[in-house]
Chains A and B, each alone.
Chain A
Amino acid sequence: MSGNVLLEVKDLRKDFGDHSVLQGISTQICQGEVVAIIGPSGCGKSTFLRSLNLLETPTGGSVIFEGKEITAPGTDVNKIRQKIGMVFQQFNLFANLTIEDNITLAPVKLGLMDKEQAQKRAKELLGRVGLPDKADAYPAMLSGGQKQRIAIARSLAMNPDVMLFDEPTSALDPEMVGEVLELMKELAADGMTMVVVTHEMGFAREVATRVMFIDEGVICEENTPQEFFEHPRNQRLQDFLSKVL
């Protein structure tokens, strides 16, 4: 396994009322890894992902990011989140801001860059995601695929150490899925550490370094894509794969 441990999850639990969604999840994510998370709808994939940057507050267990327990009381959550990028299924671009302002808002307001530096960086990133001419557009003027690529650029502007993706292509028209997956592939190739909840089995197989199957609140199986798809051991995983493949 490559690099040092970036994220460590110990016995993570999350209840919503008396509905126990995560029932003790433990795993480690190392630098440079691309972890794909799959599982049936409602099994807690999003809840797990959102626990990693504390958009959900776990009810038990701990999350350790770069050696610091971020679930400990008194942690500066905002500081931690600057280093953990997140890309949402619904893009969530800031509707009131231009594309450039979407990208520069956080770095500037958080004092990481001055306005000029941020704009320069935004330009670079827009080039990187293949939308150099959209700086002055508003989100409502873009297609879904373009929005998601901008969302990725916005996340990259913070220079995150890890990026979380929650079904980044599930809200896209089929013809736009490719452009987003292609960009994510490039990120992976550049060494970005990624945790990706996805229904795209092709992506999991080709790009992920490890695939994780969550069901009924626990990790039922995690393995290299090869082993995971060719020789699934867990019965529920076998059933799941036979339905989706």
Chain B
Amino acid sequence: MQNFINEFTLNFIEKNRYQYIIEGFVNTLIISLFAVLVGIVIGFLVAIIRSSHDKTGRMKAGNFICRIYLTVMRGTPTMIQLLIIYYVIFATVNIPKVFVAVVAFGLNSGAYVAEIVRSGIMSVDEGQFEAGRSLGLNYRQTMQFIVMPQAFKNVLPALGNEFIVLLKETSISGYIGLTDLTHGGDIIRGITFSAFMPLVAVALIYLLLVTGLSWCVNKLERRLRVNER
């Protein structure tokens, strides 16, 4: 017990080392939150372009660009994407690393969100779309008021899952020298040479975050399910 307290003091209290964890925690939160938002915007946009092309045959160029984007984002490791965006694309400009990370993870997540949302749109019965159009609603109105709400509900669990994956994937941010939660814990390990305390602390914080996120998604899911009985 005394040993535990000593370890704890050494890793977190001495020289205010807990601040590495706090800084990392804040950065991880910021990166995840904004990357999710970027991912949602890109994902929905791409999904709408792709499924509009499937349904109407229009937007050929848009569809083509989207497909290239999806292929690249899903066909290469996230880590490489992060490194390329930092060392190649933003090499000559001086911008905050957190911003670079948001761009990288947002772009990456957008690809997965896009395919999730597209599968959701396809899962909505064609009759729903036809009923909307038969009443005189145009394509956009039918998608907005009838198809998308149902698609969103259908894919909410998959989207929640994607956000959990994203949150955990930000742990590679250390590779561009950014102090995220993982890197923060690792800095402490480097100073104190004790692995258990900082790494387990970091793991517990991730676990807490993921559990909280799952809880929110579940709650939203249940709220959206009122129309099923």
Contacts from A to B (Cβ < 8 Å): 53, 55, 78-82, 84-86, 88, 90, 92-98, 105-106, 109-110, 138-141, 151, 154-155, 158
Residues of chain A lying within 8 A (CB to CB) of residue B145: 94, 105, 109
Contact residues on B (Cβ < 8 Å of other chain), bracket: 20 to 34
Contacts from B to A (Cβ < 8 Å): 125, 127-128, 130-138, 141, 145-146, 149-150, 153, 226-229
Q: Which of A85, A93, A109, A140 contacts B141 (CB 8 A)?
A: A109
Residues of chain B lying within 8 A (CB to CB) of residue A154: 135
Q: Which of B127, B130, B137, B229 contacts A78 (CB 8 A)?
A: B137
Residues of chain B lying within 8 A (CB to CB) of residue A140: 227-229
Q: Which of A53, A105, A109, A139 contacts B134 (CB 8 A)?
A: A53
With A95-B128, A109-B141: A86-B150 Cβ-Cβ less than 8 Å:
no
CA distance A79 to B5 in the complex (A): 75
> What does DSSP make chain B's interface, helix, strand, loop or mixed?
helix
A83 nearest in chain B by CB position = B136
Cross-chain contact B128 with A141 (CB below 8 angstroms): no
Cross-chain contact B136 with A78 (CB below 8 angstroms): yes
Cross-chain contact B130 with A81 (CB below 8 angstroms): no
Residues of chain B lying within 8 A (CB to CB) of residue A141: 229
Cross-chain contact B228 with A138 (CB below 8 angstroms): yes
User: How far is the CB of A197 from the nearest CB of chain B, in Å?
Assistant: 14
CA distance A199 to B150 in the complex (A): 32
Cross-chain contact B133 with A106 (CB below 8 angstroms): no
Cross-chain contact B146 with A55 (CB below 8 angstroms): no
> Could you show 5 A-B contacts with beta carbons less than 8 Å apart?
A80-B136, A96-B149, A96-B227, A109-B145, A110-B136
User: How far is the CB of A210 from the nearest CB of chain B, in Å?
Assistant: 23
CA distance A183 to B161 in the complex (A): 47
19 new A-B contacts at CB < 8 Å, known A80-B136, A82-B135: A55-B134, A78-B133, A78-B136, A78-B138, A79-B136, A81-B133, A81-B136, A82-B136, A88-B130, A92-B125, A94-B131, A95-B128, A97-B227, A105-B137, A138-B226, A138-B228, A138-B229, A151-B131, A155-B135
